[in-house]
Structure 1
């Protein structure tokens, strides 16, 4: 590596307080090599990984992505990398943990190989910090460069993205061809999103003007979900729940997921914008109902029949009936209840009365009859445009 600008940029990065974990799927490995080739890399690089095969990437992400080279996959890689850096620094570093100076880098690329590719040659680079989510994408002109030159473009793009987040002014010149353009966008977190992601608070209001809202303002009725997207079925469920309980319904989105990386700030921003006052949505780090009830004790949860079936299924408790019953008993002790709406379970439209549930759970449930609500809208189908 003879590029003095590249070396200068990397030396500045090594002298900065920023620490990073980088995950690249083959394309982008040249940037890791360049980072490690300049003395001082141990002051910057916490970890560098190359999950080259699909199986390795799935193992790192802990789920199978819909597309291996995509913006969403790069964002998930960056978020997982951020928490890897945080975990490693907290457990093994001699220095005091500075969570605001950690970067997770995810690079998902499809570049030239021995076999011609049917699709585009492209790269998606995501960076995640405690305060910013960013993503940059580039479609390379197909068959206009060899693999080495494509790698050089990706490496420069990746290092430039890190420099921008780190506040370094230098940029490596990009040898882009006519028609090639880098698409960049970022989201800066509200302070409560940062505090929530770092575990400093349990819940945050989705209303920007109510960032300091206390949990004491919770209505008592909670509608948990991903709301990706919020649709008329959700809205109708909330209306019926308010009619039955006599209380307004608060929505809730957990930024943490049992299987996938936490939501980044792009996802959070997109989802909270769907709620308009007087609607309130709480953001939490509570992926399970046991976690939720600790934040919202004595809550009445608005759920579909499909959700109540999952709560009862032993596979969500490591296939242990004992563990499941212990969890259900804890829900009972917290005096929570479930308002159960009819939904499609398997291929049947079922109400609470049609379900086989453990007595510990059934006694906490109240049924909404199909005469009050019959609407089956799939968020997955809405996302896919079906």
Structure 2
């Protein structure tokens, strides 16, 4: 993973992140290294529904952890990357992670992670249902958080391929 961030540091990408409902470990993964500020301009964690609505500037399009809302959040993040970064619209990206993760009491409607990436030329999303582990047991919160963290890494790898 270190190689990923070395490669990222050699690019002009400016990234603003927003995470809601889980996945906050991704901030540490991305920021816990020398030179992280070369590429990351901020990370927001609007955790409550009211906070996410405030970040978006409006109620979500379609639920709090949907593909449409993740894309809405990534678009807001990209505009913040442009404003807070170096102003290079072609190399500014918004990265959003919205999650419904295991909690107590257990959720009846299922758990999932949605990651969205917004650049000047592309909107891309990744969705992962995390209801069952490979052994058929339910994921615990820690394993679900790890899945969310990994999805952010996948999105950054994709960004480097653009």
TM over 0.5: yes
Q: Deviations over 1:176-203 (max 9, x none)?
A: xxxxxxxxxxxxxxxxxxxxxxxxxxxx
SS in structure 1 at match of 2:96: strand
| Map of 1:134 onto structure 2 | 124
The question of 1:100 aligning with 2:90 is answered yes
- The partner residue of 1:69 within 42, 52, 65 is 65
Residue correspondence of structure 1 range 18-33 to structure 2 within 5 A: 18-33=13-28
Higher RCO (CA < 8 A, seq sep 6+): 2
1:79 corresponds, among 75, 79, 88, to 75
Q: Which runs of structure 2 are paired with 1:179-198 in the superposition (5 Å)?
A: none
Whole-angstrom CA distance in 2 between matches of 1:147 and 1:39: 29
User: 1:11, 1:38 within 8 Å by CA — same for their partners in 2?
Assistant: no
1:179-328 equivalences in 2 (<5 Å): none
Moved more, 17-26 or 71-80: 17-26
Structure 1, residues 141-170: CA drift from partner, whole Å, max 9, x if none?
Answer: 3453221111111111111112112228xx
Q: CA deviation at 1:126?
A: 0.6
In terms of Rg, which structure is larger? 1
The whole-number CA distance in structure 1 between the counterparts of 2:36 and 2:57 is 28
Cα displacement (A) at 1:114: 2.5
User: What is the aligned partner in structure 1 of residue 84 from structure 2?
Assistant: 88
Structure 1 runs of 4+ with >4 Å offset: none
How far apart are residue 125 of structure 1 and its match?
0.7
TM-score for both structures, normalised by structure 2: 0.90
Task: Verify the 8 A CA contact 1:15 1:43 in the aligned structure 2.
Answer: no
Distance, in Å, in 2 between the alignment partners of 1:74 and 1:137 is: 10
What is the aligned partner in structure 2 of residue 384 from structure 1? none
Tell me the equivalent position of 2:113. Answer: 123
Contact 1:22 1:47 in 2 (8 A): yes
User: How far did 1:29 drift?
Assistant: 1.2
Unaligned runs of 5+ in 1: 1-5, 169-386
Unaligned runs of 5+ in 2: none
Q: 2:78 and 2:65 mapped to 1: Cα distance?
A: 19
Instruction: Quote the Cα distance in structure 1 between the aligned partners of 2:10 and 2:24.
Output: 22
TM-score w.r.t. the length of structure 1 is: 0.39
| Cα pair 2:14 2:82 within 8 Å, conserved | no
Query: 1:14: Cα distance to partner?
Result: 2.4
- The residue number in structure 2 matching 1:50 is 45
Across the aligned residues of Structure 1 and Structure 2, the Cα RMSD in angstroms comes to: 1.5
